[in-house]
Structure 1
Amino acid sequence: MSFLEGQLLVASPAMSDPNFARTVVAIANHDEDGALGIVLNRPSETEVVEAVPELDGVMDPDELVYVGGPVQPASIVVLAEFEDPAEAAYLVVDAVGLVSDRTGLERLGSATARRRVYAGYTGWGPGQLEAELEREDWIVEPALAADVFAEDPGELWGSVLQRKGGQFRLLARMPVDPTVN
């Protein structure tokens, strides 16, 4: 079995779960016990400092909380680019990983170069993700640090498929509602 840390899962157009339609998920941990990931391209309308006042001064005041997935949606998860990657709970790609308790919110500004805040995460039990991959619910592509901090998260699904190339370039241009094509 090959594990998918450092990979993106791009929802196939056939994905029937509305929690994941047109999502791009960065996999932070994957082993025989299951997998953990963060949806990268679902900004909410809530500002970070409104949801987590302790981050005032660390985050841009206009920065939004992203919906990281349907698991524990009231919990806050932070993906950041670390000055010292050893401080990450899990690395996703390069020096980008999940903030751990040992970094703490008070050191977040000095320990990281960039950061993004998520409400919740995605999770799969043993064999669940493998079954979804077998059904072709997901398209796998290596993650780039730029994907985590995409300027326009609404374009991430299409841009990752475009980067993958081949037949995926056609999917990248597929409208949300194919009947309007």
Structure 2
Amino acid sequence: MADFFYADRLFNGLEREEPAAGMLLVSAPGMDSRKFVRTVVLLLEHSVRSSLGVVLNRRSDVAVHNALPQWLECVAEPQALYIGGPVSPRSAVGLGVTRPGVAIEDHAVLTRLANRLVQVDLRAEPAEVAPLLTGMRLFGGYAQWEPGQLDDEIERGDWFVVPALPSDVIAPAAADLWGDVMRRQAMPLPLYATFPADLEDN
């Protein structure tokens, strides 16, 4: 199904970005993998060894207060744990947006991903991190690809690679992040922003 709609006609006509830490992977309309339908993944690492990322738009029913209460004051609304991916779902990943003027390189507890977007070392004291951030999300688990796997999926047309904005990580509960990211890209991607997760819903 996905090949018929998208791979040749759409992807080959687009100017492509290279995957790298701090870039977004936006799942293609009609992607076959049910795990990643309408997902937006922030890449944390992309190398010859492996690729790691976190799904930004899958909120769980678990409250941060119940899972990692020490971080509650840092976490943006909605204060829920998000499902970062199918790998190691009991491990936690912290992503944050720094306050204007914060020198990320001066703080060992922060790793720059893009602009003011950082990965937070969850071994740090929340009281040390809170003054540095305007908001934060906590994710349970992550997505991982074997060497060469992600490049093959991108070439096949499963993912768009696009720049991330800090606001993508702390988008409000009502936001349709997948649609919003698609709408801000060059044509023809905005035309697909309302594409349903299931074609039968159309």
For normalisation by structure 2, the TM-score amounts to 0.80
| Structure with greater Cα Rg | 2
- Measure the CA separation in 1 of the matches of 2:129 and 2:46: 25
**TM superposition shift of 1:62:** 5.2
- Measure the CA separation in 2 of the matches of 1:153 and 1:41: 11
Query: Which has the higher mean CA deviation after the structures are superposed, 59-68 or 71-80?
Result: 59-68
More strand by share: 1
3-state SS in 1 of match to 2:184: helix
Alignment partner for residue 10 of structure 1, among 11, 26, 37? 26
Calculate the aligned-residue CA RMSD, in Å.
Answer: 2.1
**TM superposition shift of 1:8:** 0.7
Alignment partner for residue 155 of structure 1, among 176, 181, 187? 176
After TM superposition, the structure 1 = structure 2 runs for residues 25-174 of structure 1, keeping only pairs within 5 Å, are 25-59=41-75, 63-82=79-98, 83-86=102-105, 87=108, 90-100=111-121, 103-152=124-173, 154-174=175-195
Match in the other structure for 2:3 = none
Query: Alignment identity in percent?
Result: 35
The letter of the residue matching 2:200 is T
**TM superposition shift of 1:136:** 0.7
For normalisation by structure 1, the TM-score amounts to 0.88
Q: Which runs of 5 or more residues in structure 2 are unaligned?
A: 1-17
The letter of the residue matching 1:85 is I
CA distance change for structure 1 residues 88 and 38 in 2, over 3 Å: closer, same or farther?
farther
The letter of the residue matching 1:34 is S
**TM superposition shift of 1:88:** 5.1
- Residues 79 and 98 of structure 1 are in contact (CA less than 8 Å); yes or no, is this contact kept in structure 2? yes
The letter of the residue matching 1:173 is T
**Count of paired positions:** 180
